[in-house]
Amino acid sequence: MVLEVVMDLMQPHLMASIVNDGVMRGNLGHIGMTSIWMLVAAILGTVGGMGCTYYAIRASVGFGTDLRNALFRQVQTFSFRELDRFPGGTLVTRLTNDVMQVQMLIQIFLRMLIRSSFLFFGSIVMALLISPKLSIVFAVTLPLMFLLLYLLLSRSIPMYRNLQGKLDRVNSVLQENLTGIRVVKAFVRATFERSRFKKANEDNYELGLKAARLLAVNNPAMTLLLNASVVCILWIGGAQSWEGALEIGSLAAFITYVIQTMNAMVSLGNTLVNISRAKASSDRVNELLEAPVSMEESPVENHHTTPAPGRVEFRNVSFGYEEGGEEPVLKDIGFAIEPGQTVGILGSTGAGKSTLVNLIPRLYDPTEGAVLVNGVDVRDIPLEELRGQVGIVLQQAILFSGTIRDNIRYGKPDASQEEVEAAARAAEAHDFIAAFPEGYDTVIGQRGVTLSGGQKQRISIARALLTDPAVLILDDSTSAVDLRTEARIRSALKARMAGCTCFIIAQRISSVAEADRILVLEDGRIVASGSHEELMASSDIYRDICESQLGLEEASHV
């Protein structure tokens, strides 16, 4: 870049020499020689420029790639709490568009900013060398230009910051719609969604236009200023040259330097606008990179390794999704489950069942109290080890695009076909998988679209079983499976998971009636606890649930 700028600065100087010493004195030889020098300077400048462009692009693209990798790694370390804070749409904008803006900035910085600043100062020096007197023009025009630039930047910077937010909104609406497109169609809400998207898109457009308008005013204003100064120079310089104080060639070169100075200034201005835009983006990127991960691994010296099998204890646990403020979702939960026991959890929807079990593999940390596995606070167990011991089937079955086999062995990629099949059999999934023409190699679409709800649930169960966890959590995992299949899954589980502590969340009493212990959750509190018989004898709430589901007669026979 320095080479290119120096060569650019040479050109007017050489041209002045052609006019002054060649044309004015009729020296053809000098014209020829100097022209060759001009050509050499032009070629050197081009080589420098190309080299700079190449390395600037290489550096910026490399930077963008590194940054995206770093962000992706960061998002992977997020706990559920951070994921709640940064919804998918904004993550996508930040990882793509925002990184792109920062990447552009690096490139612009390496090319335009350095070029403009060198050219700016170099041209002023060259002009001073030609005629200190004429250079007084700078004293008038430069402050005016700075003022213009200041006005422009102070307005455009906040605007561009907003613009990234608008783009976020466009991406959010888009993403939500793509995920929920089936619901949109089922409820014939396409027109509504279209207008919602149009609104977000138009907001983005309007602000973009407003910012562009600001820039559109800037360039002509700068040009006007430039032309005015050229006229001034011609006026003053013309008089000087008439008196013989300044040679014609030097006057022409002087004007070229002034034009270069101002052009450098204009492109400096544009560069600063780009920087301001990238600043907004880089702030958003940094916000993500620096997001404090709420779930810190405890220091290594506190670590305890927990021998399986799993004893699970809740000690006065309270939990709320929002810090402070509103009423907690779980209130003062306390119980202890011995290794190998099966626990059923019942409760109306929204009672906090999923929230409770999510605390065991530390998807969230309790706000008060402690969750213990094998007598050790889960916060003192290395996360990977804890989650290796606790298998959870989340309420919403989520599968990845790929083969059924890869989905089942997601938690244990090196599992053999026999292991995969055994897990699938225990989850009552083997039969329907084997019925597919391609069996375990059947490729399922994103989110498992080619499978039924019950099939997805059973594959999720197989996925959790394959890792042979010490604690198994089934969060309403058989809700879409018919009663007979569910009963078979239950007995297969009993055989396979003997010695494993099981948590089974269910809506149906029949799913949990055989459990060693049943917890009834109401509004974030445990309102009843015991085996089916004990609860039938002692708990009104439990009897109510039973009667409503089975009828009194049958209930006492379960």
CB of 508 to ligand DGT, least distance (A): 12
Q: What track of x and - describes contact with Mg ion for positions 148 through 167 (by CB under 5 A)? A: --------------------
Q: State which residue, 419 or 522, has the beta carbon closest to ligand DGT.
A: 522
Q: Quick one: 271 or 477, whose CB is closer to Mg ion?
A: 477
Buried b (16+ CB within 10 A) or exposed e, 18-54: bbbebeeeeeeebbeebeeebeebeeebeebbeebee
CB of 355 to ligand DGT, least distance (A): 3
Among 256, 281, 354, 478, interactor with Mg ion by CB under 5 A:
354
Name the burial class of residue 553, with classes exposed (0-12), middle (13-18) and buried (19+) by CB atoms within 10 angstroms of its CB.
exposed
- Under the binding rule (CB under 5 A), the answer on residue 358 touching Mg ion is no
Sequence-distant (6+) residues with CB within 8 A of 111 are 1, 52, 53, 56
Smallest gap from Cβ 141 to ligand DGT, in A, equals 58
Q: Phi, psi (5° rounding) for residue 309?
A: -80, 175
Closest approach of ligand DGT to the CB of residue 333, in Å: 12
Q: Beta partners for 313?
A: 336, 372
Task: Single out the segment in contact with Mg ion by CB under 5 A; choices: 8-16, 281-289, 354-362, 506-514.
Answer: 354-362
Distance CA 58, CA 43 (A): 23
Q: 508 vs 543, which CB is nearer to ligand DGT?
A: 508
Q: Which two tokens stand for residue 57?
A: 């692009």
State in angstroms the smallest separation of the CB of 507 from ligand DGT: 7
CB of 330 to ligand DGT, least distance (A): 8
- Helix locations, 248-306, DSSP H: 248-289
Number of residues that bind Mg ion (CB under 5 A): 2
Q: Which is nearer to ligand DGT, 241 or 507 (CB)?
A: 507
158-162, long-range: CB < 8 A, 24+ apart: 159/207, 159/210, 159/211, 159/214, 160/211, 160/273, 160/276, 160/277, 160/279, 160/280, 161/276, 161/279, 161/280, 161/283, 162/207
The smaller minimum CB distance to ligand DGT, of residues 305 and 349, is found at 349
**Least Å distance between CB 493 and ligand DGT?**
20
Q: What does the per-residue mask of binding to Mg ion show for 295-334, with x meaning CB under 5 A? A: ----------------------------------------
What are the backbone dihedrals phi and psi of residue 474, each rounded to the nearest 5 degrees, phi first? -115, 105
Residues in CB range of 1: below 8 A, 6 or more apart: 48, 49, 52, 110, 111, 114, 115, 118
Short-list 355, 304, 305, CA closest to 329: 355
- Report in angstroms how near the CB of residue 392 gets to ligand DGT at its nearest: 13
Nearest residue (CB) to ligand DGT, 193 versus 476 = 476
* Residue 12 interacting partner from Mg ion, ligand DGT, none (CB closer than 5 to 8 Å by kind): none
Window contacting Mg ion (CB under 5 A); options: 69-77, 96-104, 288-296, 395-403:
395-403
The answer to whether the peptide bond before residue 309 is cis (omega within 30 degrees of 0) is yes
Nearer to ligand DGT by C-beta: 83 or 140?
83
Burial class (CB in 10 A: 0-12, 13-18, 19+), 7: buried
CA atoms within 13 A on the CB side of 34: 19
Query: Which one, of 6, 11, 7, 1, lies nearest residue 255 by Cα?
Result: 11
Radius of gyration of the chain (CA): 36
Could you tell me the smallest distance in angstroms from the CB atom of residue 106 to ligand DGT? 37
**Which of ligand DGT, Mg ion, none lies near 321, with the C-beta cut-off 5 to 8 A by kind?**
ligand DGT
User: Which one of Mg ion, ligand DGT, none is in contact with 352 (Cβ closer than 5 to 8 A by kind)?
Assistant: ligand DGT
Residues 152, 149: Cα–Cα separation, whole Å:
5
Q: Which is nearer to Mg ion, 80 or 197 (CB)?
A: 80
With CB cut-offs between 5 and 8 Å by kind, which of Mg ion, ligand DGT, none does residue 4 bind? none
To ligand DGT, the closest distance from the beta carbon of 351 in angstroms equals 4
Using CB under 6 A, list all residues that contact ligand DGT.
84, 321-322, 329, 347, 349-355, 395, 476
Could you tell me the smallest distance in angstroms from the CB atom of residue 350 to ligand DGT?
4
Closer of 350 and 551 to ligand DGT (Cβ): 350
Tokens of 439: 């069996």
Q: Which is nearer to ligand DGT, 81 or 304 (CB)?
A: 81
Residue of this chain nearest to Mg ion (CB atom): 354
- How far from 424 is each of 409, 465, 495, CA to CA, in Å? 10, 8, 14
Name the minimum Å distance from CB 394 to ligand DGT: 11
Residue 395 lies near Mg ion (rule: CB under 5 A): yes
**Among 7-15, 328-336, 352-360, 523-531, the segment contacting Mg ion (CB under 5 A):** 352-360
Q: Which stretch binds Mg ion (CB under 5 A): 238-246, 257-265, 346-354, 461-469?
A: 346-354
Backbone phi and psi for residue 332, each to the nearest 5 degrees, phi listed first: 45, 60
User: Exposed, middle or buried: residue 437 (CB in 10 Å: 0-12, 13-18, 19+)?
Assistant: exposed
Return the number of the residue (246 or 345) whose C-beta is nearest Mg ion. Answer: 345
- Vertex 301: Cα angle to 297 and 302 (nearest 5): 60
DSSP class of 467: T
* For ligand DGT, the closer CB: 166 or 353: 353
Which residues of the chain form contacts with Mg ion (CB under 5 A)?
A: 354, 395
